[in-house]
């Protein structure tokens, strides 16, 4: 399989596959005589795994650990769970931060009449300590 086909069936762009190879997230693939990368089904599985982990917001560094756990039949599920929970905590923090921003902004926006007049509590709120 060439890289294009793998990209299509894994939903990871060829660009990213090469990148993942360059940073050592996936193994370097064998090449044809002319230098084309050659892949097998298991590579597609791995890339799909990576893609799903990305979709869940894991960083490539975390995915590196997930992949090594995935590869390791001796792993303890506790290790995986620990990683997942650390990520959940991280997501929660980001959600909280964004929600706080949102709420502040909604409050400011509510008090802004939003017409042709220049007076605007949103700008005041940004200019003064909130």
Partner DNA sequence: GCTTGACCTTGCCAGCATGGTAAGGTTTAA
Partner DNA sequence: TTAAACCTTACCATGCTGGCAAGGTCAAGC
Q: Which does 120 bind (CB under 5 to 8 A by kind): a copy of itself, DNA, none?
A: a copy of itself
Q: Which does 47 bind (CB under 5 to 8 A by kind): a copy of itself, DNA, none?
A: none
Task: Tell me which residues in 74-93 interact with a copy of itself (CB under 8 A).
Answer: 74-78, 80-82, 84-85, 87-88, 91-92
Phi and psi at residue 65, to the nearest 5°: -70, -40
Asked whether the beta carbons of 125 and 108 are under 8 A apart, the reply is yes
Phi and psi at residue 69, to the nearest 5°: -70, -40
| Site residue total, a copy of itself (CB under 8 A) | 53
> CB of 97: closest distance to a copy of itself in angstroms?
8
Closer by beta carbon to DNA, 14 or else 122: 14
Residues that bind DNA (CB under 7 A): 2-5, 7, 13-16, 18-19, 31-37, 54, 59-61
């Amino acid at each position: 399989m060439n890289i294009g086909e793998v990209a299509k069936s894994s939903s990871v762009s060829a660009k990213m596959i090469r990148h993942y190879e360059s940073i050592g997230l996936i193994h370097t693939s064998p090449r044809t005589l002319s230098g084309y990368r050659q892949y097998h089904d298991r590579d597609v599985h791995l890339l799909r795994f990576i893609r799903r982990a990305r979709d869940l917001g894991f960083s490539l560094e975390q995915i590196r650990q997930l992949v090594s756990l995935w590869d390791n039949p001796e792993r303890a599920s506790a290790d995986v769970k620990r990683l997942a929970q650390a990520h959940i905590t991280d997501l929660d923090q980001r959600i909280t931060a964004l929600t706080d921003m949102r709420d502040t902004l909604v409050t400011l926006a509510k008090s802004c009449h939003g017409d042709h007049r220049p007076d605007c509590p949103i700008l005041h709120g940004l200019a003064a300590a909130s």
